[in-house]
């Protein structure tokens, strides 16, 4: 069996195309012509005798062989970055794209509001924020890192707890003015609820309505927590909402705060091969510091 010697330039083009999914986007970032990227990928596939990408209408998607190569290519990239930093004493690698997945409520109502702050600290890094429940699969490189509701139990993943957060029961003032009074949990049987679509709830952490009331009366269901928020805001019914999103809204009233206080956790998860890549580390550090700073707000304090 002949020995395979990797051309780092070919791997660099492979990494960029795997992250961006399109020849033109990869070429623009590498500052080369798109035909150069295509030629490099073809040379790499020929040397490995394997197809690394499937060409689809939505762009270039990694094959199983491509996913296997990605693990090794990213490890080589991390080692080369570490070597450069050790020798030069400089960090010239805080650039590129980082794809981050997070639950919808956190992504839209919290993280996106702090992106300018991240940009000021790291102007060379482009963040791609995917609002996804359940989160994207890091082992298949659908994202570089993810904020999840629990620690993953499988895979070559590193995880640490970012923060606790709280949810409360809310209703719009317009809804409460036309509905029976709520003095205790038993009164909730007389009210309309907004909730998730049962057979589409994939995360057990979201199944907490059963902890509060038996056989609630649902009038609207959606997979989107933002839809819950807007429906409650319109006066449709009661909804369990993130306190960090609902508390600042003056027309929403929190109900039975001493009796209904749901607590959950946010975890930061990254593939172990990417943990010490400089741009990934910068995002991880930013998110960790941000969550520590805003822990009281996430709990509604």
Domain match, 231 and 139 both = yes
Domain match, 75 and 192 both = no
pLDDT digits (tens, 9 = 90+) for 72-115: 887 777 666 655 555 544 444 578 889 899 989 999 999 999 99
The answer as to whether 3 is a domain residue is no
Domain match, 126 and 265 both = yes
SS (H, E, C) 135-153: CCCCCCCCCCEEEECCCCC
Question: Can you say whether residue 252 is alpha, beta or left, with left for phi > 0 and alpha for psi between -120 and 50 degrees?
Answer: beta
Q: Domain boundary residue among 59, 88, 117?
A: 88
Domain match, 228 and 301 both = yes
Backbone angles phi, psi at 159, to 5 degrees: -140, 145
Q: Which residues are within 8 A (CB) of 233 and not within 5 positions of it... i.e. 6 or more apart?
A: 172, 249, 251, 252
**Residue 47 belongs to a domain with what CATH number?**
1.10.10.10
**Residue 186 belongs to a domain with what CATH number?**
3.40.190.290
Which range marks the domain in which residue 204 is found?
94-301
Domain count, the chain: 2
Q: Which residues of 252-274 are buried (b: 16+ CB within 10 A; e: fewer)?
A: bbbbbeeebebebebbbbbbebb
The answer as to whether 174 is a domain residue is yes
The answer as to whether 224 is a domain residue is yes
Domain match, 126 and 227 both = yes
From 149, 139, 144, 117, select the one nearest 129 (Cα to Cα): 144
Q: Domain boundary residue among 88, 108, 142?
A: 88
Distance CA 179, CA 176 (A): 5
Domain match, 140 and 234 both = yes
Could you say which residues of the chain have pLDDT below 70? Answer: 1-6, 78-93, 133-141, 199-208, 210-211
Domain match, 58 and 122 both = no
Question: Can you say whether residue 5 is alpha, beta or left, with left for phi > 0 and alpha for psi between -120 and 50 degrees?
Answer: beta
| pLDDT at residue 2, as a whole number | 44
From 250, 261, 239, select the one nearest 191 (Cα to Cα): 239
Q: Is the peptide bond preceding residue 134 cis, with omega within 30 degrees of 0?
A: yes
The answer as to whether 1 is a domain residue is no
| pLDDT at residue 144, as a whole number | 87
pLDDT digits (tens, 9 = 90+) for 265-295: 999 999 877 777 888 889 999 999 999 999 9
Domain match, 298 and 236 both = yes
pTM: 0.68
Domain match, 162 and 37 both = no
What is the DSSP annotation of 208-270? Answer: -GGGT-SS-EEEEE-S-HHHHHHHHHTTS-BEEEEHHHHTT-TTEEEE-TTT--EEEEEEEEE
Domain match, 166 and 228 both = yes
Domain match, 101 and 74 both = no
**How many residues appear in the chain?**
301
Q: What is the residue whose two structure tokens read 């009661």?
A: 238
Domain match, 149 and 210 both = yes
Q: Domain boundary residue among 88, 111, 127?
A: 88
From 212, 246, 215, 244, select the one nearest 229 (Cα to Cα): 246
Is residue 149 within 8 Å of residue 204, measured between CB atoms?
Answer: no
SS (H, E, C) 6-29: CCHHHHHHHHHHHHHCCHHHHHHH
């Amino acid at each position: 069996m002949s020995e395979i010697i990797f051309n780092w330039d070919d791997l660099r083009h492979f990494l960029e195309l795997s992250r961006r999914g399109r020849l033109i986007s990869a070429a623009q970032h590498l500052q080369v012509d798109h035909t150069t990227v295509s030629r490099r990928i073809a040379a790499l596939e020929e040397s490995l005798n394997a197809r690394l990408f499937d060409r689809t209408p939505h762009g270039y998607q990694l094959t199983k062989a491509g996913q296997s190569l990605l693990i090794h290519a990213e490890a080589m990239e991390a080692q080369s970055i570490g070597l450069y930093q050790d020798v030069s004493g400089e960090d010239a690698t805080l650039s590129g794209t980082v794809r981050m997945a997070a639950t919808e409520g956190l992504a839209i109502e919290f993280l996106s509001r702090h992106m300018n702050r991240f940009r000021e600290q790291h102007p060379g890094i482009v963040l791609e924020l995917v609002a996804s429940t359940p989160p994207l699969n890091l082992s298949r490189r659908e994202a570089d890192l993810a904020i999840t509701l629990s620690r993953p139990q499988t895979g070559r993943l590193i995880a640490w707890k970012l923060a606790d957060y709280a949810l409360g029961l809310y209703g719009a003032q317009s809804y409460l003015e036309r509905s029976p009074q709520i003095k205790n949990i038993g009164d909730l049987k007389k009210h309309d609820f907004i909730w998730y679509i049962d057979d589409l709830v994939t995360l057990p952490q979201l199944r907490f309505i059963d902890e509060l009331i038996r056989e609630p009366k649902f009038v609207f269901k959606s997979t989107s927590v933002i839809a819950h928020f807007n429906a409650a805001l319109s006066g449709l019914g009661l909804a369990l909402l993130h306190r960090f999103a609902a508390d600042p809204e003056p027309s929403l009233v929190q109900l039975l705060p001493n009796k209904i206080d749901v607590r959950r956790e946010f975890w930061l998860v990254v593939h172990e091969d990417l943990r010490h890549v400089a741009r990934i580390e910068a995002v991880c550090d930013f998110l960790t510091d941000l969550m520590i700073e805003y822990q009281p707000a996430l709990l509604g304090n």
